[in-house]
Structure 1
Amino acid sequence: MIGKRIQKLRLERGLSLSDVADRAGVAKSYLSTIERDIQKNPSISFIEKVAAVLGVAPQDLLQHHDEEPLDADWVAILQEARKSGVTKEQLEEFLAFTKWKLDKQKSADVL
């Protein structure tokens, strides 16, 4: 989870929640909810700010250790989507629809 990665990096650097929040210009309470996985979908802007404070690339916070890292093309696509005004909710809805459509096609192929 992204919150646990942020917390791990923060603690490795000897930074408090207040340190990171102040330096990143984000609310300490919001950072805390992210770290505790209460809030699980931070904005790209939030991720970029926190990553800069922690001295890592934003994709380092986004990727799972067991997953292949995002390449530059994926990062560029996500950045373009954000610049174009696509919301996280719209992207999630598109992904859910695409998964549903693929599952439906697979089911039809089996029949």
Structure 2
Amino acid sequence: MIGERVKKYRKDAGMSLTELADRAGVAKSYLSALERNIQTNPSIQFLEKIAQVLKVNMDQLLNDQSSGSDNSYNQLDDEWQLLVKEAMESGVSKEEFKEFLEFNKWKIQQK
């Protein structure tokens, strides 16, 4: 369940329930209910706030990663997410990013 994963990642991060709720800007009572599986359908916005504070990606909260999944794959996803976030925050538009990718493909083909 999502609540169990949130609790696991929170404890792995060494955070109390109150600390996570405060840092994420969410209600402590709702977070507690989620961890106890009383609430089972949190909003995407809620999960994004929690994931950002816990430094995990949404997929890790939504899906059970314990069934033989490769941690280097998850780390790569985190790195890509950070790069995309940095590009967005620096003002790079989708079109500029696409142009860069196309240029890069062209450059590789020229070699």
> What's the TM-score once normalised by structure 2's chain length?
0.58
Letter in 1 for 2:8: K
Cross-structure match for 1:4: 4
- Structure with the bigger RCO (C-alpha within 8 Å, sep 6+) is 2
Letter in 2 for 1:61: L
Cross-structure match for 1:103: none
Letter in 2 for 1:19: E
Letter in 1 for 2:33: T
The structural deviation recorded for 1:67 is 9.0
Long gaps (5+) in structure 2: 70-76, 78-111
Letter in 2 for 1:39: Q
User: Which one is further off, 29-38 or 56-65?
Assistant: 56-65
Distance 1:29 1:67 in 2: 33
Cross-structure match for 2:23: 23
> What's the TM-score once normalised by structure 1's chain length?
0.58
Distance 2:7 2:14 in 1: 10
Long gaps (5+) in structure 1: 73-111
Letter in 2 for 1:54: L
Q: Secondary structure at the match of 2:60?
A: helix
Cross-structure match for 2:14: 14
The structural deviation recorded for 1:26 is 0.2
Q: Which of structures 1 and 2 has the bigger CA Rg?
A: 2
The structural deviation recorded for 1:27 is 0.2
The structural deviation recorded for 1:5 is 0.4
The structural deviation recorded for 1:13 is 1.1
